[in-house]
């Protein structure tokens, strides 16, 4: 892959690094009236250094949705950055790639339905218990949505009928109330009724910040050590490398694919008269 946006930066030279960071192209992180900017690259077609043949084809592709085909390097970058930075497109028809701060946020879902895909904020309750005492108490707690005080559970007929002492019952009630805190009464999916499963890794979502990055930053200030400058240069160079990878993916599309017009036939609902069956 030939570097197009990437630049060589001398990481031993403070002034070379500062020049690189201060001279880097920037674009808005939101709309222009927010005046917040970050490191960016102009990826409009006429700025991609294409051959005239590729250029013609690129304009033909303007109405084709190919972004998903070429955006893969952004996911790798975001992952490599431990989700603390990501890249978004901005500008009319996404003509700019912009570096953003980001972070992962848990969605709060604890289980999901393998049948219909519905997610649930509660866990699936345990299927088996060590003994009948635990099972009876757990069932009472789940049935009442864990909403009573321990003493109230002690008074329930099913729990009163258990042969262990009240002290032991209270111990179990307190322990199970804590264990079943996030569980729903049953494992049934609220939409389709099929059994749900707990997530082994709770799902999260990437939150993208629209804050500016290094806007009007004084890199000569003392808190910018050589090491922190190097880290910043590393980040911006990695961003440029992703822009190059996306440009290469785009050029590969131009080389490997043609735009053709296809008429798609889709089912349409119409009303018709049908004679009674004899």
Q: How far is the CB of 195 from Zn ion (least distance, A)?
A: 9
Q: Which of 9, 17, 113, 141 binds Zn ion (CB under 5 A)?
A: 113
Provide the minimum distance between the beta carbon of 119 and Zn ion in the complex, in angstroms, as a whole number. Answer: 10
* Residue from the set 89, 118, 204, 248 that interacts with Zn ion by CB under 5 A: 118
- Nearest approach in angstroms of CB 109 to Zn ion is 13
Residue 27 or 112: the one with the smaller Cβ distance to Zn ion is 112
Q: Does 254 bind Zn ion (CB under 5 A)?
A: no
Count of positions on this chain that bind Zn ion (CB under 5 A): 7
CB of 116 or CB of 255, closer to Zn ion: 116
Distance between first and last Cα of the chain: 72
Of residues 174 through 193, those in contact with Zn ion by CB under 5 A are 189, 191-192
Q: SS in 3 state form for the chain?
A: CCCCCCCCCCCCCHHHHHHHHHHCCEEECCCHHHCCEEEEEECCHHHCCCCHHHHHHHHHHHHCCCHHHHCHHHHHHHHHCCCCEEEEEECHHHCEEEEEEEEEEECCCCEECCCCCCEECCECCCCCCCCHHHHHHHHHHHHCCCCCCHHHHHCCHHHHCCCCCHHHHHHHHHHHHHHCCCECCCCECCCCCCECEECCCCCEEEEECCCCCCCCCCCCCCCCCHHHHHHHHHHHHHHHHHHHHHHHHHHHHHHHCCCCCCCCCCCCCCCCCCCCCC
- CA distances (Å), 84 to each of 28, 70, 105, 206, in order? 19, 22, 11, 9
Q: At closest approach, how far in Å is the CB of 172 from Zn ion?
A: 32
Among 115, 144, 215, 228, binds Zn ion (CB under 5 A): 115
Nearer to Zn ion, 116 or 158 (CB): 116
Angle between helices 226-256 and 72-80 (to 10 degrees): 160
Residue 125: CB minimum distance to Zn ion, A = 17
Query: Which residue number, 16 or 185, has a Cβ lying nearer to Zn ion?
Result: 185
Report, in Å, the least distance between residue 113 CB and Zn ion: 3
By beta-carbon proximity to Zn ion, the closer residue of 108 and 114 is: 114
* Pick 151 or 190: Cβ nearer Zn ion: 190
Among 1, 62, 116, 255, binds Zn ion (CB under 5 A): 116
Whichever of 191 and 259 has its CB closer to Zn ion, that residue is 191
* Span from 58-66, 105-113, 229-237, 260-268 in contact with Zn ion (CB under 5 A): 105-113
Binding region for Zn ion (CB under 5 A): 113, 115-116, 118, 189, 191-192
């Amino acid at each position: 892959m030939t570097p197009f946006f990437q630049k060589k930066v001398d990481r031993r030279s403070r002034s070379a690094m500062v020049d690189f960071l201060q001279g880097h192209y920037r674009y808005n992180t939101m709309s222009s009236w927010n005046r917040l900017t970050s490191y960016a690259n102009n990826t409009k077609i006429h700025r991609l250094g294409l051959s005239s043949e590729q250029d013609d084809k690129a304009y033909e592709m303007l109405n084709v949705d190919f972004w998903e085909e070429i955006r893969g390097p952004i996911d790798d970058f975001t992952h490599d950055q431990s989700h603390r930075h990501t890249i978004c497109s901005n500008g009319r028809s996404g003509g700019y790639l912009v570096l953003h701060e980001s972070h992962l946020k848990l969605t709060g879902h604890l289980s999901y339905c393998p049948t219909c895909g519905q997610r649930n904020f509660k866990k699936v309750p345990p299927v088996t218990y060590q003994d009948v005492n635990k099972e009876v108490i757990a069932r009472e707690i789940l049935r009442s949505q864990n909403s009573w005080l321990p003493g109230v559970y002690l008074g329930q007929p099913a729990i009163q009928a258990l042969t262990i002492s009240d002290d032991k019952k209270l111990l179990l009630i307190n322990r199970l109330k804590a264990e079943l805190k996030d569980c729903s009464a049953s494992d049934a999916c609220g939409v389709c009724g099929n059994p749900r499963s707990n997530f082994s890794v709770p799902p999260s979502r990437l939150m993208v910040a629209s804050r500016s990055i290094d806007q009007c930053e004084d890199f000569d200030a003392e808190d910018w050590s050589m090491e922190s400058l190097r880290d910043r240069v590393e980040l911006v160079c990695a961003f440029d490398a992703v822009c190059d990878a996306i440009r290469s993916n785009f050029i590969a599309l131009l080389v490997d694919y043609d735009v053709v017009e296809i008429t798609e036939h889709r089912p349409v609902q119409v009303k018709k008269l049908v004679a009674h069956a004899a």
